Structure 1
Amino acid sequence: MSPLVAIAGSAQVNRSYSPVVRDPEAAPTAAAELGAELARQGCRIVVYSNDPDFVERDVVRGYVGSGRAVPGSILVRGRYQQDVDFEEAQRHPELFTVVPESTDDWEVSFYRSLLAADALLLVGGGRSTFVAGLIGLSRRIPVAAVAAFGGGAEKTWQRLTNERGVATEEEVALLARPWQPGAARAIVTALCAQVRRRADEERAAREAEGAAGRRTVAGLVTALVLLLLALATIPLAYAAPAGGWQNVAVLVAAPMFASVWGAIVRNAYDGSGNWLRAAALGSAAGVIAFLLFVAAQLSTNPDLLDGGSARQLVFFVLAIGFIGGFTSEVVYAKLRDQDVTQTPVLPPGGPR
């Protein structure tokens, strides 16, 4: 859809501005040129008042006068039965979409509507124009603050130099140039480029979020499978011959499954997305804790794995593997301190 550009600003001769509005006599012509260029580049506009003190009237004049306006491309958000009677609307009513506000508190509707705009165009203006610019910058909405005429637009441009948002350095510098023939085309072209750039960023962010969500689902499904595999080692340990290699193999597989399961669960809990790294580190930590635990038992009970006691060890190593994977960073920290896990020696004959 065509970008929607909100228009704000004024250049009254007898009004006090900060900074001072410069060349107020040329501002209406410049606003009309900007309006015509917006129409030529396929932008829609949203305006708030037909009052001659504001630039919207001149922007609409140029927009309609370009001959490139399409039906419904001018959105008017003014107070009910006020601000909406543009002269061009009487000749070309099909170009206008009027959304009257039910309240006289125009500032509320004005600032709220800015959030629905794709870009802001500011010329001159006072406090409300400056606030509109700040809202745009804070929400990373593309802002074309024409500094040539001073006022709130120039004050916004000063902020824009440090908070560029999606604007490039060249686009910011363009807004500070003195007004001259062809300036409107360059400004609107730069503004449309910012709109496209922001749309690309939002699209990339959505795609990244979707990919992260898919990775999270895949990781949790993997964790569930590993949980089932870890629990399956319990009946396998009792089905394998006592003292055989199958029993030892199950004893080794149990903490491997449990540690990767714990690492993936921790990764999902923390909200990080590097599942492969978490699985590798978690499995290593879980296996280290498992080996140290079994080594401590074998040091005082060398025949532990030859009898039925190995089956009972499965319950211990499953818990140790999961905790090692879930708290892998703690395991590595303790490993550096040579204190990986508490390994009390089981009494001879295995666990009671």
Structure 2
Amino acid sequence: MALWVGGIARVRPARLGVPAAGVAIVTTLLAVHDWTWEPAPSWMPATVLVVLLAAPSERSLRAEHDLLRARGATGGQVLALASAEAVVTGLIGGLAGLVVPLAGGFLTGSGPRLGWEIVLLLFAGVVVAALALLPPVLREWYFVPADDGPPWWSSYGLDFVLLALGFVWPLFGWAGGTMLLWRLIELGLRKGKRVIGGVLRPLVSGLAGVLALSISWRSALLARSVTLVALAVAFAISSAFTRDGCGAARVDLIASLILAAAAAGPSFGAALNERRRDLLIVSTLGGKRRQVAAFIAGDAIVVGGGGLIAGHLLGVLFVLVAQVERTPSPHGYFGLLAAVVIVSCVVASARIAQLAARDEVSDLRDY
């Protein structure tokens, strides 16, 4: 138990910073938009994106849970720890998210009404944190994780059902479009080995086939990264075209840029970090540093470029299904958005390349 509270807790604050920041963004948007539900609240796709971005990776959870099992921790103790993390993270993020609404005058109530609204916003922050942190813990501890493959809902056609229901409520269309995009990206990466190899061949010559096969094997991981970037870009585009007030518009645009940077930076970096085993194998098979760098760049091109293109298409869908007043986009905003995604991918790739250069053959057992 001492190891549970002490040793494990030492690495949690850094990891919990991501969900806390995400909760702060969602809380800010909720307060700025006054909990608007109709017809298509901008805070809803932001909430979904934050939940996906803040969810801990399976690799980190598996390592922690193996250690906790070895120390005799029970499922109830692990769930209690995760619940406590969700509460603390939600409260901290919620308090941080109240700064902008209070300073900008978006919370206009006074006395008990203001206090009640603050309580509701903090509760919403805890809910968002719980949605991000608890499901992965439950899945990893109580169920056998499935092998990487298509999303579980793809076999049921849930994306097509939600797309059809988009005419009833725009949020269904948003969800269906995102899920269909995820399905198509995963399918393309899994089945398009020949095309991917042809694209990579000028960069890595003889290793193109091996790298294409590796991308195919990791299609679920890369598809998730591309979809997250696309969803962030789509949220930014919808925010730029469907503004409902000057003060709220600025908050939406800034929040969308932050989420895009997080999706293309830390999130992609975490996914790419889980592929360091592949990079080490490439080096072991005789790949030069330039070829390993090209391999990383190939992932960055897939995630950054694919996310920008798919995100623009998804953003257009968001704008079409949202029955709100449309306004011209801010000058230069899309260029800034693309720059944020590209720079974030480059920074994440450079960091992983730096870490991969330190790996030795003996490190294979750690992956």
TM-score, length basis structure 1: 0.21
Higher helix share: 2
- Structure (1 or 2) with the larger CA radius of gyration: 1
**Structure with more relative contact order (C-alpha pairs < 8 Å, separation 6 or more):** 2
TM-score, normalization by structure 2? 0.21
